[in-house]
Structure 1
Amino acid sequence: MYSADINKIIPFSSVDGPGNRTAIFLQGCNFNCKYCHNPETRNLCINCMDCVPVCPAAALSDKDGKVIFAAEKCIACDNCIKVCKHGATPRIVRMTSKETFEKICENVPFIRGVTFSGGECTLYPDFMREVFVLCKQIGLGTMIDSNGSIDFKNFSDLLEVCDGVMLDIKAYDYNEHIKVTDVGNDIVLKNAKYLAGMGKLFEVRTVVVPELFDFRKTVDNVSKELAPFLKISNIRYKIISYRKNGVRKEYRDYKSPTNEEMNEAREIAIKNGFSDIVLI
């Protein structure tokens, strides 16, 4: 049985896939997105102890050089996240696939499915597969929210029990993608076509940050390349406005796109054949 580091579980979410769902955020990410709005999901706690004295509820303690988290005392003030310099949180919980499934079952029958997010949830493919197998046994839908950094062709057993993938395409141009994430995007674009060809690409997402990359070029190329696959299955294009909420201090100076720029992005996707477009 596999286990994973879980940042948080949102029992009921209406923005992480179709219908009301339980969204599970796994800890750790292999991208360094400049506009990341939940940077505390990027790394594991290194037990530096900076968070312990700032917790007003005494939910954190030092035991033999390790931060201990008492969930029952936590008041969710996020002081620990705010003080952390390492892109982590002391509130991570290691859970097995069975324990995670039991937590999901607490929300049945009020949910339609489960979505794994992050961080980057595909860093735990075997764990997700085990949870999805259990979810399928009770009729729950299964979705993955991913940055596309693993080769999905190598994880057919995971895709067999996954209804669809919501794929972030940070930038279409290779060098711009490095500028945004510190990582290239060859595998991301390869995954987009592969998943679309299987009818498993539920949604693509692009966060519009006009000062950081050419969003027009990204939306244009992504929608052009994926348009031929729309005859296999519908693909939603979610175009998201950059907002500074939750972003690391050093990256908060980017300007949000104007309404005109967001509408322009939508019109580009429409021109290339997309009809299911959501602006956020």
Structure 2
Amino acid sequence: MSVHIPINNIIPFSLVDGPGARCSIFVQGCNIHCAYCHNPETQRLCVGCGTCVRACPAGALRMVCGAVEWNRDTCVKCDTCIHVCPNHSSPRILYLDAEQVFERVRSYMPFIRGVTCSGGECMLYPNFLSELFGLCRGVGLGCLIDSNGTVDFAEHQGLLALSDGVMLDLKCWDDTWFASLTGADGKAVRKNLEFLAERNKLAELRVIVTVNRNDPEAAVRGAAGALGERVASTRLRLMRFRHFGVRGEMEGAPSPTDERIDAIEGLAKSLGFGTVVVS
């Protein structure tokens, strides 16, 4: 029986979530909590505190049996609900199964090349992903996973076989930095980096560059060492931290300078990365 999972958003056409035009699917829920998260409303499930109900200017939310109910027709998408939520959540969630999501995806054909599942952390729902990817493969759509890398991909090789690969976030290399930024450690991420590369499933490695909140230079060096000869075939994306959408301790934090970004790009190229993209 298909499992219904919480879906935060489905973007019909995206040009930034993998090659070509893609449908991007954002699940609700994450197992780490990054200080720089640009989608903090996707981190947790709603606990029904009612704060958003009282704040909604359109009256699109109400409490029903202790849970928040969202009226899509009344909602004006002003985002007041997610701005006032004390739980890094959103009441604008749809519980859908793979077939229901696929029906939406199929309606965007033939204008998309594939789907990308993100979040939150989409690897918290591997059975959903396997079913959705199987359906998408059946109509010729590619399938990518955008992951924070903290779920062991070695335990989900059937899902990997259905996917074109993983866009893997390498938030920090050192565990002290990783814990400070996310509340967890990066051992699983480093393991997944090597595992995915060995199986030609590392579609893109992503390193964010912040000011004094992570170690991007060390991450680039560490990844290059772990990849070995495979570094030449690895696509690396360096992402400049921007404060838009960020809430909490890094709200309003500065972005790195062009000079620092250029220096890290030069470092990556000197270490042999085949493709280096700055965004």
Q: Same fold (TM over 0.5)?
A: yes
The 5 Å alignment of 1:56-205 reads: 56-205=57-206
Render the CA deviation track for 1:69-107: whole Å, top value 9, x for unaligned: 111222111000000010100001100111111111111
> Which amino acid is the alignment partner of residue 16 of structure 1?
D
* Contact 2:170–2:189 (CA under 8 A) maintained in structure 1: yes
**C-alpha RMSD of matched pairs (Å):** 1.2
How many pairs were matched up?
278
Render the CA deviation track for 1:125-172: whole Å, top value 9, x for unaligned: 000000000000000000000011111111011011011100000001
> Which amino acid is the alignment partner of residue 205 of structure 1?
R
Classify the secondary structure of the residue corresponding to 1:160. Answer: helix
Instruction: Compute the displacement of 1:220 (Å).
Output: 1.8
* Contact 2:224–2:231 (CA under 8 A) maintained in structure 1: no
For 2:254, the equivalent position in structure 1 comes to: 255
Render the CA deviation track for 1:218-246: whole Å, top value 9, x for unaligned: 22221332242146xx3211111111111
Q: Which moved more, 1:20-29 or 1:253-262?
A: 253-262
Render the CA deviation track for 1:19-61: whole Å, top value 9, x for unaligned: 1000000011111111001100000001111111222222111
Output the CA distance in 2 between the equivalents of 1:213 and 1:143. 26
> Which amino acid is the alignment partner of residue 241 of structure 2?
Y
Instruction: Compute the displacement of 1:255 (Å).
Output: 2.0
Classify the secondary structure of the residue corresponding to 2:230. Answer: helix
Render the CA deviation track for 1:244-263: whole Å, top value 9, x for unaligned: 11111322253210000001
Classify the secondary structure of the residue corresponding to 2:249. Answer: helix
Output the CA distance in 1 between the equivalents of 2:192 and 2:200. 12
Output the CA distance in 2 between the equivalents of 1:73 and 1:65. 20
Classify the secondary structure of the residue corresponding to 1:212. Answer: coil
Classify the secondary structure of the residue corresponding to 2:73. Answer: helix
For 2:41, the equivalent position in structure 1 comes to: 40
Classify the secondary structure of the residue corresponding to 1:262. Answer: helix
Classify the secondary structure of the residue corresponding to 1:36. Answer: coil
> Which amino acid is the alignment partner of residue 82 of structure 2?
I
Classify the secondary structure of the residue corresponding to 1:251. Answer: coil
Identical counterparts, % of pairs: 43
* Contact 2:58–2:76 (CA under 8 A) maintained in structure 1: yes
For 1:237, the equivalent position in structure 2 comes to: 236
After the TM superposition, which parts of structure 1 deviate over 6 Å for at least 4 consecutive aligned residues?
none
Instruction: Compute the displacement of 1:195 (Å).
Output: 0.5
* Contact 2:231–2:274 (CA under 8 A) maintained in structure 1: no
* Contact 1:38–1:246 (CA under 8 A) maintained in structure 2: yes
Classify the secondary structure of the residue corresponding to 2:239. Answer: strand
* Contact 1:211–1:254 (CA under 8 A) maintained in structure 2: no
Q: TM-score, normalised by structure 1?
A: 0.96
* Contact 2:171–2:214 (CA under 8 A) maintained in structure 1: no
> Which amino acid is the alignment partner of residue 75 of structure 1?
V
Output the CA distance in 2 between the equivalents of 1:18 and 1:140. 12
For 1:208, the equivalent position in structure 2 comes to: 209
Classify the secondary structure of the residue corresponding to 1:15. Answer: coil
Q: Which moved more, 1:206-215 or 1:73-82?
A: 206-215
Q: TM-score, normalised by structure 2?
A: 0.97
Output the CA distance in 2 between the equivalents of 1:214 and 1:21. 31
* Contact 1:168–1:205 (CA under 8 A) maintained in structure 2: yes
Classify the secondary structure of the residue corresponding to 2:8. Answer: strand
Output the CA distance in 2 between the equivalents of 1:159 and 1:235. 18
Classify the secondary structure of the residue corresponding to 1:23. Answer: strand
